Amino acid sequence: MGRFQPFHLGHLAVVREILGERPGVPLILGIGTAEESFTWRNPFTAGERFEMIDRALHESALGPTLVVPLGDIRRHAQWVAYLKSMLPQFDRVYTNNPLTRLLFERAGYPVESPRLVQRSRFEGVHLRACLAADRGWRPLVPPAVAEYLGEIGAPARLAMLRPQRSAPSEEHTP
């Protein structure tokens, strides 16, 4: 589960690690906050993120995986029930997010924390700043994602969405 804004090498390493632990067992990747896009925090649409993941996994010949976009329901007490209704069958959860851990443990699921997840959580912000400056972002993402980010003009989009110093508390809204 992640927002994958964008999908980077940290995400890829986690996917490889989990798939390696249980070869042949499909991994479900939930794309969080799917309905949000064109904001600084979530610059890419769910479809664009799906495309990135699909290209990167294909490039690395990783699988089997299933990708599912997930909306924000804003009601944490129903979060587990929502995921159970939207996802194919699953029997364990991988996360380092303490709230996700709490909610799934309350519901009786085994929850595991891949060693690499924690680190990758902090790479998203840094990577978006690199994209906005169009500097140093290519080594942080899989080659297929780098190519795709170029195709869709990601650096220009990020530069435009970056919050300005003169009005730091306010996202751009159309």
Distance (Å, whole) CA 59 – CA 126: 24
Among 69, 114, 155, 163, binds its own copies (CB under 8 A): 69
Closest approach of its own copies to the CB of residue 160, in Å: 5
| 38 belongs to the binding site for its own copies (CB under 8 A) | yes
| 149 belongs to the binding site for its own copies (CB under 8 A) | no
> Tokens in use for 113?
């924390």
Tell me if 122 sits within 8 A of 116, measured CB to CB. Answer: no
Among 9, 13, 62, 68, binds its own copies (CB under 8 A): 68
| 45 belongs to the binding site for its own copies (CB under 8 A) | yes
Closest approach of its own copies to the CB of residue 60, in Å: 16
Distance (Å, whole) CA 113 – CA 159: 33
Among 2, 6, 10, 32, binds its own copies (CB under 8 A): 32
Binding mask 97-136 for its own copies (x = CB under 8 A): xxxx-xx---------------------------------
Among 9, 16, 37, 60, binds its own copies (CB under 8 A): 37
Distance (Å, whole) CA 103 – CA 81: 10
Q: Which residue, among 170, 144, 163, has the nearest Cα to 8 in the 3D structure?
A: 144
| 51 belongs to the binding site for its own copies (CB under 8 A) | yes
| 89 belongs to the binding site for its own copies (CB under 8 A) | yes
Distance (Å, whole) CA 40 – CA 71: 18
Q: Report the b/e string of 41-64 with b at 16+ CB within 10 A.
A: ebbbbbebbbbbbebbbeeeeeee
Tell me if 102 sits within 8 A of 80, measured CB to CB. Answer: no
Interface residues toward its own copies, by CB under 8 A? 1, 26, 32, 34-39, 45-47, 50-51, 54, 66-69, 71-72, 74-82, 84-89, 97-100, 102-103, 157, 160-161, 172-174
